[in-house]
Structure 1
Amino acid sequence: MLRLRGEMIRGGTSKCWIFGHDDVVAADVDVDILLLAAFNAADPRQIDGVGGASSTTSKAAIVRPSAEPGTDIEYVFAQVGIGDERVEWAGNCGNCATAVALYAVHHGLVPLGAKTTTVRMLNANTGARLTGTIPTPGGVAPDEGAATVPGTAAPGVPVLLGFEDPAGSTTGTALPTGRPIDTLAGPDGVVEVSLVDAGAPAALFEAKAFGLDGSEPLARFAEAVPALTTLRREAALAMGLARPDDPVSHAVPKVGVVAPPVAYRTAHGIEVGADAYDLAVRMVSMHAPHPAIGLTSAVALATAAATPGTLAHRAARPTADGTLRLGTPAGVLTTRTMPGNSRSSSTVLLRRAARRIARAELQVPIPAPL
């Protein structure tokens, strides 16, 4: 039985286990084996591990200080399988980045400012650069706060998360095929798609192509998930994210549907008017509808909506100040794209919240070698 220190931190609408790089190295076990055992990934209920049996609660990040100038910490993000003994390392998670920023402040991985502290982060999976700005009044790391986000009523420490120069973070360009619209062969025929790489690679389809209008509750949207899962594989090949003989990834690219704003009711029963947001979106998370939206997906949507010719640009209500309000199953999430500076050409900002739930010493049952 191996012992591993870790912290469970809620970042936005995800729960993420954060581990220090040195602790993982000291375990002297292949990191995939370590995480699969810690989360009990083989069991779809993850009963004998720390996973929460959903895509938003079966996540981990491994953090270490960075030696690179202008960067405080580096982290790798892991999406751990649920009933599937596999760890996905290809993507990033903005909600977990929110948790990583709070972890860095709590562990003294960045000097604390007298009013606020900005953690400069590098996601080693994708090369994406992010910032997380947290209030630290009097140079003290906060344990609690009053900030909330759509998808949970629980308050947390406010975190202003920024994705710096997000376009092309994985493939090198915002439109990996060079076109704002492509076509893919799905199980029900050819369908239009916008393939975008910003924050994370994403394949965005029109909701009406699946008989939807973007207002659907999760159960109704779930009916389109099998077709979108098939199309995700085709999108991965078209974007150069996979080769035909590679294993199928259920994490990359992100995949979902967009539509013009219409009135709808959130998963918590709150009525949202069509004038309260600019673009309807429903995303898939691994094998199921996302209960809100991943932040890397939100960045991809913001970029797509600002790119003429894409399906998101076609569907979105035009805005003039870089703000885009996304209508998700959990409510309205607002993104704001800011002009660039000496470090980046632009930054996409999102207001999030984080709370440390537990510090723990995990007892991990490492299987004996064959």
Structure 2
Amino acid sequence: MTKVPVTIMRGGTSKGAFFNEQDMPELRNDWEEFLLDVMGSPDHLQIDGLGGANSLTSKVAIIKKSEQAGVDIDYTFAQVSIDKKMVDFKGNCGNISSAVGPYAIEQGLVAARVPVTEVRIYNTNTKKVIISEVEVEDGRVKQEGNCSIPGVPGTGSPIYLSFEDAEGSVTGRVFPTGNAIDFIETSFGAFCISIVDVANPLVFVKAIDVGLNGIELPDDYSPDSLAKLEEVRSIAAELCGFCSREEATDQSPAVPKLTIVAEPRDYMDLTGRKRKAEEMDLVIRMMSMQRPHRALAITGAVCTTAAAYLENTIVSRMISDRSSTLRLAHPAGVMETQAKLYEKKVHAIKVVRTSRRIMEGYVYTKKEYAMATKKNHRKEQLVF
């Protein structure tokens, strides 16, 4: 059994375990087994680990002080499968990214600067830089504030994330297939999709083409609808070159992310609040690890915003009036993104989030691991 320092943090509408990389197993090949161990996977309840039996709470951030010029922190994201023995390192999670800056400041990896500390984060999954602006008060990360985000109760201090030049985050290309639109054939019909890779690869599909109206809430999807959506996503995974469509659910469950879009229309969100069509530019529903997302992934919002400015995508064809602010209506409410344009092209996309440190302590693994042995290393071995 191994005792390892860990911090549990909420970032946006996600929650995850945060580790300093020096406290991880020394061999990268051991990371997957270690993370499955500490999160309690595979088990649909994750009863024997830190996971919360939901893809939004089965996430991990691994942080270290960067040695790269112009970067403060190296950050690796891991999506830990709940019911399968696998960890997906392919993409990033924008919500978890919002907690990386506060974690780094509180851990002393970045010097706190009042009133706002800018943390330049290099995401190793996508090889892209994210700029995080964190409010600081009395040398500590500010927790209280008036910023509220759909899907999270209460308010907190705002954290601004800027995703700069995020094109080709996983595939190396904005359009992984070379096309803004691809025509696919499925077991339930033929229609068009758009696969766009900005911050994370997404596959966009019109709600009407998959038998939906676009304003479904997470519990409204039938098993048949979920199977159809996963078939579309699996075809897109094959088109991206990740794996065959038959292997996609097991080998590439996190990317590309299936994203359903529809024109603005009135709907009731998860809080019971009526959202009016004039409050939004696009209705959007995302899948996360084959289940409906209860809000909206930040990387998904970034990719959708970019797709709105790219010619001939499904998204840009649905949005007639494109200003620098895009309003995306998701199950928990409406999220706004801001695009920074340069010569009519998107240079950066900014979103606002909140985060909170929930717990600091130790996690006890079931197995023993060869842990890293660096200066100031804090690992302890316990033998029972």
Could you state the TM-score of these two structures normalised by the residue count of structure 1? 0.93
Moved over 6 A (4+): none
Counterpart amino acid of residue 107 in structure 1? Q
Match of 1:122 in 2: 122
Match of 1:209 in 2: 209
Out of 287, 291, 302, the position equivalent to 1:288 is 291
Q: RMSD of aligned C-alpha atoms?
A: 2.2
Counterpart amino acid of residue 252 in structure 1? V
Residues 181 and 310 of structure 1 are in contact (CA less than 8 Å); yes or no, is this contact kept in structure 2? yes
Match of 1:360 in 2: 361
Specify the SS of the correspondent of 1:63.
strand
Specify the SS of the correspondent of 1:56.
helix
**1:178 Cα shift?**
2.1
Residues 222 and 289 of structure 1 are in contact (CA less than 8 Å); yes or no, is this contact kept in structure 2? no
Match of 2:233 in 1: 232
Match of 1:302 in 2: 305
Residues 234 and 246 of structure 2 are in contact (CA less than 8 Å); yes or no, is this contact kept in structure 1? no
Instruction: Note the residue ranges of structure 2 that are not aligned, 5 or more in a row.
Output: 370-384
Match of 1:149 in 2: 149
Residues 118 and 133 of structure 1 are in contact (CA less than 8 Å); yes or no, is this contact kept in structure 2? yes
Specify the SS of the correspondent of 1:153.
coil
Out of 318, 321, 325, the position equivalent to 2:321 is 318
After the TM superposition, which residues 75-224 of structure 1 pair with which residues of structure 2 at under 5 Å, given as runs? Answer: 75-223=75-223, 224=225
Specify the SS of the correspondent of 1:227.
helix
Match of 1:47 in 2: 47
C-alpha distance after superposition, 1:183-228 (max 9, x if no partner) = 1222212221001000100100000102222112222245522111
Specify the SS of the correspondent of 1:68.
coil
**1:26 Cα shift?**
5.6
**1:245 Cα shift?**
8.4
**1:28 Cα shift?**
9.2
Match of 2:253 in 1: 250
**1:103 Cα shift?**
0.2
Matched, 1:335 2:337: yes
C-alpha distance after superposition, 1:99-130 (max 9, x if no partner) = 11110111122222221001100110111210
Distance 2:152 2:89 in 1: 27
Distance 2:236 2:29 in 1: 34
Distance 1:282 1:244 in 2: 22
Distance 1:284 1:4 in 2: 32
**1:85 Cα shift?**
1.3
Counterpart amino acid of residue 287 in structure 1? Q
**1:140 Cα shift?**
3.2
Distance 1:202 1:308 in 2: 16
Residues 58 and 79 of structure 1 are in contact (CA less than 8 Å); yes or no, is this contact kept in structure 2? yes
**1:336 Cα shift?**
0.8
Distance 2:76 2:199 in 1: 15
C-alpha distance after superposition, 1:150-191 (max 9, x if no partner) = 112232332101111112222222112222110122221222
Residues 33 and 366 of structure 1 are in contact (CA less than 8 Å); yes or no, is this contact kept in structure 2? no
Specify the SS of the correspondent of 2:154.
strand
Residues 228 and 256 of structure 1 are in contact (CA less than 8 Å); yes or no, is this contact kept in structure 2? no
Match of 1:22 in 2: 22
Cα distance change on mapping 1:245 and 1:53 into 2, 3 Å: closer
Identity of aligned residues (%): 36
Instruction: Note the residue ranges of structure 1 that are not aligned, 5 or more in a row.
Output: none
Distance 2:207 2:320 in 1: 16
Moved more, 2-11 or 180-189: 180-189
Could you state the TM-score of these two structures normalised by the residue count of structure 2? 0.90
Match of 2:377 in 1: none
Larger RCO, structure (CA 8 Å, separation 6 or more): 2
Residues 308 and 322 of structure 2 are in contact (CA less than 8 Å); yes or no, is this contact kept in structure 1? no
Residues 339 and 346 of structure 2 are in contact (CA less than 8 Å); yes or no, is this contact kept in structure 1? no
Match of 2:378 in 1: none
Residues 262 and 274 of structure 1 are in contact (CA less than 8 Å); yes or no, is this contact kept in structure 2? yes
Residues 233 and 248 of structure 1 are in contact (CA less than 8 Å); yes or no, is this contact kept in structure 2? no
Cα distance change on mapping 1:339 and 1:315 into 2, 3 Å: closer
